[in-house]
Amino acid sequence: MQVRPFGKSDLKVSALGFGCGAVGGLLVKGDPSDMLRAVARAVDLGVTYFDTAASYGAGSSEANLGLAVRETGADVVIGTKIKLAAEDRRDIENSVTRHVEASLRRLGRDAVDLIQVHNFVSGEFATDSQWLSVEEVAEVITVFARLRDKGKVRYWGINGLGDVAAVHRCAEAEMHGIQVCYNLLNPTAGLPAPPGFPFPDHRQLIAKAAKNGIGVLAIRVLAGGALSGQLKRHSHATAEVEPISSGESYDADVRLSQRLIFLVEEGFADSLIEAAIRFAISNDAISSAVLGLSDLDQLEAAARSIEKGPLPAEAVTLLQARWAQFGTT
């Protein structure tokens, strides 16, 4: 398993990140013995980065991951995330501290390697508590730095979603990591948007982050599972997935993914899933491609895809023409 640097930090993370959220669902709904086997096997395969959040399974993902890591005795990098609610915004310092300490208790750790704010970013104060203004994000980052000084966190970052201009402003702040939506349906965080592209343009956020020494975690690599090309979802996976930076629905994303099946038909990859994973790691500025996993077979297949290396440049060139057609029926 290839290991990549994480921005200007001293962390090294595997090109494949183990996503512990509800979209894949293994670390939320799986049998405890299956969770342990999957984490142990991931470590055997060279996976060093595990991504969770306080909101995944209402804290169960953190607790399950912490237990599995302790059982295996593995030396891994753990990233988790906190999301501030409306009432938290009245006292950000104490709220952030309380949330981080709760995550540490669930993880069973004295400190976490990477703490991230999970809220979307807005260009101005928003009444919707899912969003934080740039100024509020800056305040959260200040609290993270204080928690670093207290030995509770090592590094920190943000969720690079929301208002694009506001996210780019945040990427100039003193932080170490950013989550970026990057996949075969919306590659604009890494590549220029073609004319008429119908989805949000993330304006090559990956390059902006890398220039500022920020480690990049690629998320939604499989567009919540739509890039499997299948409507049916795994029993561990969340039943419904809200698209991020792509179509109006999961079904629409699955249909759109069929326009990319040429990657398999022309021999660039053995499956659309493989193509999506290899596309994500084709960008050298991405530290880890985080995949939500539902079972051990998916883990094994993802690791095999990573081992095949980046998608060929010829395939990416052909993709440019397909993306330019996404705005057409």
Task: Give the chain's residues under pLDDT 50.
Answer: none
Rounded distance between C-alpha atoms, residue 13 and residue 85, angstroms: 30
According to CATH, the topology of domain 3-324 is: TIM Barrel (3.20.20)
Domain boundaries, the chain: 3-324
Q: What is the pLDDT of residue 329?
A: 63
pLDDT in tens, 184-232: 999 999 999 999 999 999 999 999 999 999 999 999 999 999 999 888 8
SS3 assignment, position 296: helix
First-residue to last-residue Cα distance in the chain:
40
Q: What is the pLDDT of residue 247?
A: 94
Mean pLDDT computed over every residue of the chain: 95
72: phi then psi, degrees, rounded to nearest 5: -80, -20
Rounded distance between C-alpha atoms, residue 246 and residue 305, angstroms: 23
pTM of the shown model: 0.95
Q: Which string of DSSP letters, residue by residue, matches 14-52? A: ESEEEE-STTT-HHHHS-HHHHHHHHHHHHHTT--EEE-
Residue whose structure tokens are 């170490």: 176
pLDDT in tens, 234-256: 888 788 889 999 999 999 999 99
Other Cβ atoms within 10 Å of 314 Cβ, number: 10
Percent of all residues in the chain with a pLDDT value above 70, rounded to a whole number: 100
Nearest to 183 by CA among 246, 121, 238, 241: 246
User: What is the four-CA torsion angle of 147, 152, 155, 158, rounded to 10 degrees?
Assistant: -70
Q: What is the pLDDT of residue 128?
A: 75
